[in-house]
Structure 1
Amino acid sequence: MITYTDIAADQMICLQCGAPLIKEETYSCAVCHKDYQHLHGVPLFMSDEEEYIAGMAKQYADFARQKETELGELEQAFENRPYRQVYWQQLRKALSGNNELIGTLVNMLCERVSPAALLRTRSSSASAAVLKDFQYLKRDWCWLEEGELQLSEILGPLEEVISDAISDRENILVAGAGVGRIAVELCGYFEKVYATDLSFSMLWFFQQLLKGASINFHEINYANILQDTYVARELTASYHAPFSGYTLPEVSDKLFCYISDILHSPHKDGSISAFCSAYFTDVLALKLLLPEVKRLLKPGGVFIHLGPLGYGFEDVSEKLAANEIRAAFIRAGFEVVREEVITCNHLESELSMQTVSLKNWLVVFRKKEYVQRPIEDTTIFGVAEGIKYEVRGRLEEDIPMDQIMIRTAEGEAVIIAELAFDILRFLAAPQTFEALITHLDSCYEIEAPSMIADVLLHLESLKVINRI
C-alpha cells in the first residue's frame, strides 16, 4: 500500500535550495541536508520550523486566554440572573469544552518549541480565527443536513469543472485545505491529492479523522436563536465515506496532507496538474499568490478559484475586482476556461435564524503551453542584473551561514541555502553547466548532476539567474 509519504516523495523539493527531498524517517534535502520534521504526525514544510511552531502556540494560547477571560466575565454577568441559567449552563459547558481542546493543542505545540522562541513571538491579532476550526468541522465532518447541502453547492460546480476542463488528472493541490473534506472528495477525480494549510490545528484535526478518531466539540450561537437551549450543542466529527465514497484506506492511498506556506510550496516547478482554491484566494494579495500558481502548474495546468472576494487583509490597493484578477492572469500567460457567479449559503446552522448567503466567483484559468528548455553541459548561466544579498541567521561552528536573503531587481526577497549562494558566487562570471558541476564536485558530495540542474531551474524561475 502506498503511504502518505510515498506519494509525495517524487514531488517535494527543498525550500532553501530547490533540490529534491529524500524520504527516510523524515524528509531531508539531498544537497543542503536540511531536515523537515513532522509536527505531531503532520508533515511540516517551513523554512523556520521553530518560528512557525512558536507562532501557532502563541496564537492558540492567546485564544484560550481570551475565552478564559470571557468565561470569568460571563460568570459574573449571569450570577444574578437565575432565570437565564439554562442558557448559561449550556454556554459555559460549550466554552469550557472547546477551550479544553484548544489547550491540548497549546500543550502539544509547547512541547516542540523552546521557551526563548515563545518569548520572542508577539501576540497575533488573528487568534479569533481558531473559531473557524469548529465551524468547518461542523460543516465538513458532522454529517448534518445543512452542512451536506452547503458542501453539495460547492462540490457540484467543482466536479463540473473537473469533468469539462481537466484532462490531466495526475494530481491536484488544494490550498487552504482546512479540515480536508473538499480534498477528500477530490480523491475521486485525481491520482494524487495534495492538501495543504498553514493552520496546524485544522490539519491535526483532519489527521485524527483520517486515523479513524472522533472529535467532540460544541457549536455556539450567542444570538438569533428561538430557544435558549439552542445557544450550544455538542457535536461529534468523524470520518464516514463521503460523496466520493472513499473509505479511509482508499483515501490513504491517494492523499497527502501537510503544513506549508502556499507562497513557498515544496513542489517542483511545473509539477502540479490542477490548483484548487475554494474560499481561500481572497486571504492573500493576488500579486503574492499568482507567481506561485504559475510556477507550480504544468503547461496546460488549471487554476480553479471558487469563493467570494471579501478579502481578509487591510491593504485596499490589493483588493482587486474580478475583472482585475482576470486581467492579471491573462497577462501572466493564462487563458479563461470558465467564469460564473454562484450563490451558496455559508456555514449555516439549523439552530440559528441567521443565514449568510455568499455570491461566489467561480473562475477557471488554464496555463498556456510552453516548452521548458533543457539544461545541457554547454548551457551557460549568469547571475541576473540587480541581485543583492545579505547573510542572515546565527553563526555556528560547523555552519558558517544559516541562510542568505537574495533580492531581485524587482525587490522580491528570496531565501536560499549556502549551496545556492555558492552557485551564485561562481556564476558571477557566466559559466557553463559542465564547469559549474566540476567546481561543485570539489566542494560538495554531488550524487547526480540532475540535482544541481533542479537547483538551477529553481533559481531561474525566481529570476535570480539567466541563461546567456
Structure 2
Amino acid sequence: MNPELLERMFCPAKKTPLAYSSADEALVSAESGSSYPVIGGVPVLVPKPQEYLHRTAIELEAHNQRRDQNMQIVKAFLSQETFRTPMLRSLHAALEQNVALSIAQRDALAARLDVAGLLRYVVDQGVKLADPRQTPAYYGPDLLSFVRADWSDEPAPSKQRSVVLERVNDNIARFCGANQSALVVGGGAGRYFHELAARFDYMLGSDLNFTYVDIYHRLKNGPMELADIFYPMISSDVVAESFVAALPDGKTPENAAYFVADALQLPVRDGTQDAVVSIYFSDCVPIMRLLNEARRVLKPGGVFISLGPMFYHSVDQTAWFTPTETLAIANQIGFDCEHDEWGELAYWSSPHRSSESIHRVWNYVLRRRD
C-alpha cells in the first residue's frame, strides 16, 4: 500500500499507526500489537478482524451449500430430457459459474483463520447465524447484478454510471479544491471509487462486504466472467446471462486504496480528508452515526457528498429521518448544507428481470464547519 495513504489511516481498534508486514501479510500496529490481515490484496480493517473473517467465511460456506443444493436439484431434472432442459442447463451453468467465485473467496478466508477460534465462534454465535441477511457477506454472492452494474461495459449499465458520475463530479468541481484527499464509503464493488480516484491526489475507499472488495482486487488480475441470475424474478425465457466484469484500463490507480471497513468505525485519521463521498449508501446505515464519523475524518471546511434514494434498508426504524430532519441533524453535528436537490434516475435492470424502477435520488453536499 502507498505509504502516503497509510499516513492517513490508523488501527481501527486503538487508533495507532499502521505499517505493512510482508512476513505476516498484514497491516500491523507496533504500538497496540494489533494485526489486520491482507487477503488477496484486500486489507480487512475492522476492529475485530478474526470475528469478521469467521462470520464471513461461515456465511460464504452457507451460501455455497445453498447453491450446491440448488444445482443438485437442477441436475436431477437434467437427467431426464424434458421441455425444461434448455432453461435448466442455462440455470445450472450460471450457478456453477458464480459458486466457483464464492468457493475461491471462502478458501482464501479459511487459509487465514484460526481454526480453534472459528470453532469457538460457531458455538458462541451459531444461533445468530440462522438469518444470513444479518451478515456482512449476504449482499455479495447473492447479488452479483451489482457487480454487473459496476463493471460490465454493456450500454445500459454504462449509461447509469455516467449519469451518477456526472452529478457527483459536478459536486466535486463546485465544492472541492485542487490537490485534495477523499474517501468513498460504502463503495460496493468499487467502480465509483475507481473512477473518482482520478479527481483527487489521494483516494481511500471502503465497504464492509468482503465479496465486493475482493472482486475489485481480483479484477487487477484480469477480466472475470460471472452470471446474472434472474430466476425466479423473470420476464422472459432467459433465466440467466453471463457477463464480463473488467477494469476499463486493466489496472487500479496507484494513488488509491480499497479495503474492508465499517463506515461507522473507519480506520482513517481525524481531519485528514477533504471530501467523503457516499453513493447509494447514506440510507444503509444510521445517518447520525455516519455524519459524525464523516465529520471526524474531514478537515475543517471539508465536504460530505451524498447521492442516492432514501430506501432505509438495513437500518433501525428509529433512524428513518426525512430530508428536513436529516439536514437538521447535520446542522447539529456541525455541517452547513451547500447543495440540496432531488432528481430522477432510471435504475438499470436487465430486460429479462421482472422489475424496473425509477429512483428519486437525493443529491446533497454538506460542508464541515471549523
What TM-score does the superposition give when structure 1 sets the normalisation length? 0.71
CA distance in 1, matches of 2:5, 2:143: 26
Contact 2:203/2:255 (<8 A) preserved: yes
Distance 1:142 1:130 in 2: 16
Map of 1:325-344 to 2, 5 A cutoff?
325-344=326-345
Q: Deviations over 1:434-462 (max 9, x none)?
A: xxxxxxxxxxxxxxxxxxxxxxxxxxxxx
Aligned pair in 2 of structure 1 residues 155, 96: CA closer, same or farther (>3 Å)?
A: same
Task: Note the 1:291-440 alignment, pairs <5 A.
Answer: 291-313=292-314, 315-352=316-353, 354-369=355-370
Counterpart CA distance in 1 for 2:309 and 2:211 is 24
Counterpart position of 1:412: none
Paired position in structure 2 for 1:446: none
Deviation at 1:302, TM superposition (A): 0.4
Kept after mapping to 2: 8 A contact 1:133/1:179: no
* Distance in 1 between residues matched to 2:149 and 2:14, nearest whole Å: 39
Q: Which residue of the partner structure matches residue 20 of structure 1?
A: 17
Q: Can you give the 5+ residue segments of structure 2 that lack an aligned partner in the other structure?
A: none
Displacement of 1:134 in angstroms is 1.6
Provide Cα deviations, 1:181-200, integer angstroms capped at 9, x if missing partner: 10111122111111111111
Give 1:36 shift.
2.7
Change (3 A) 1:287 1:225: closer
Aligned: 1:158 with 2:165: no
Deviations 1:32-82 (A, max 9, x none): 232333122212212222111111101111111222223334455677781
Amino acid at match of 1:348: S
CA contact (8 A) 1:140 1:147 kept: yes
Question: Contact between 1:5 and 1:23, CA under 8 Å: does it hold in 2?
Answer: no
Query: Once the two structures are superposed, what CA deviation does each residue of 1:124-183 show, in whole Å capped at 9, x if it has no partner?
Result: 522542246521221121201110011012111101101111125411100111221101
- Measured in 2, the distance between the counterparts of 1:169 and 1:144 equals 33
Among residues 199, 218, 221, which one is paired with 2:230 in the alignment?
A: 221
Q: Identity of paired residues, percent? A: 24
Corresponding position of 1:258: 259
**In the superposition, relative to structure 1, how do residues 314 and 194 fare at CA in structure 2: closer, same or farther (>3 Å)?**
closer
Do the aligned partners of residues 81 and 286 (structure 1) sit closer, same or farther apart at CA in structure 2, a change above 3 Å counting? Answer: farther
Contact 1:168 1:273 in 2 (8 A): no
Q: Structure 2 residue aligned with 1:11, among 8, 12, 28?
A: 8
Aligned to 2:36: 36
Q: Distance in 1 between matches of 2:352 and 2:358?
A: 16
Contact 2:20/2:27, CA 8 A, preserved across alignment? yes
Residues 1:168 and 1:292: Cα distance change in structure 2 (over 3 Å): farther
Q: Distance in 2 between matches of 1:65 and 1:366?
A: 47
The change in CA–CA distance for 1:89 and 1:317 in structure 2 (over 3 A counts) is same
Larger radius of gyration: 1
Partner residue of 1:67? 67
User: C-alpha distance in 2, partners of 1:259/1:321?
Assistant: 29
Q: What secondary structure, in the 3-state scheme, does the structure 1 residue paired with 2:199 have?
A: coil
Is structure 2 residue 184 aligned with structure 1 residue 192?
no
CA spacing shift, 1:353–1:19, aligned 2, 3 Å:
closer
The number of residues matched between the two structures is 357
In structure 2, relative to structure 1, the CA distance for the partners of 1:362 and 1:56 (3 Å cut) is same
Q: Look up the SS of the partner of 1:269 in the other structure.
A: coil
Distance in 2, matches of 1:78 and 1:109, equals 33
> Residues 79 and 346 from structure 1, CA distance in 2 versus in 1: closer, same or farther, beyond 3 angstroms?
farther
CA change 1:132–1:311 in 2 (3 A) is farther
Distance across 2 between alignment mates of 1:225 and 1:16: 45
Residue of structure 2 in register with 1:387 after alignment: none
Quick one: which amino acid aligns to residue 322 of structure 1? Answer: P
Aligned residue identity for 1:196 = S
Return closer, same or farther for 1:130/1:224 CA change in 2, 3 Å cut-off. Answer: closer
**Two-structure CA RMSD over aligned residues (Å):** 2.2
| Deviation for aligned residue 1:362 | 0.9
Partner Cα separation in structure 2 for residue 319 and residue 94 of structure 1: 37
**SS where residue 32 of structure 2 aligns?**
coil
Give the conservation status (yes or no) of the 8 Å contact 1:290–1:329.
yes
Shift of 1:277: 0.7
Distance 2:217 2:92 in 1: 28
Checking the alignment, whether the CA contact within 8 Å between 1:58 and 1:118 is kept in structure 2 is no
Distance in 2 (alpha carbons) for counterparts of 1:224 and 1:27: 42
Q: Which of 247, 252, 262 is equivalent to 1:239?
A: 247
* SS class of match (1:263): coil
> Would you say the 8 A contact 2:285–2:315 is kept in 1?
no
Aligned to 2:139: 129
Structure 2 letter corresponding to 1:19: T
Match of 2:184 in 1: 174
C-alpha distance in 1 between matches for 2:48 and 2:275: 28
User: Where does structure 1 lack aligned partners over 5 or more consecutive residues?
Assistant: 242-246, 370-468
Contact persistence 1:212–1:238 (CA under 8 A): no
C-alpha separation in 1, matches of 2:353 and 2:108: 34
Amino acid in structure 1 at the alignment position of 2:7: D
Q: In the aligned structure 1, how far is the partner of 2:152 from the partner of 2:269?
A: 36
The one-letter code of the counterpart of 1:177 is G
Task: Pick closer, same or farther for the CA change 1:80–1:261 going to 2, 3 Å.
Answer: same
Question: 2:277: which partner in 1?
Answer: 276
Taking the aligned partners of 2:229 and 2:14, their CA distance within structure 1 comes to 46
> CA, structure 1 residues 63+312, in 2 after alignment: closer, same or farther (shift >3 Å)?
same
Task: With the length of structure 2 as denominator, give the TM-score of the two structures.
Answer: 0.89
Contact 1:212 1:239 in 2 (8 A): no
Give the 5 Å matches for 1:78-157: 82-119=82-119, 120-121=121-122, 122=126, 123=129, 124-126=131-133, 128-131=138-141, 134-157=144-167
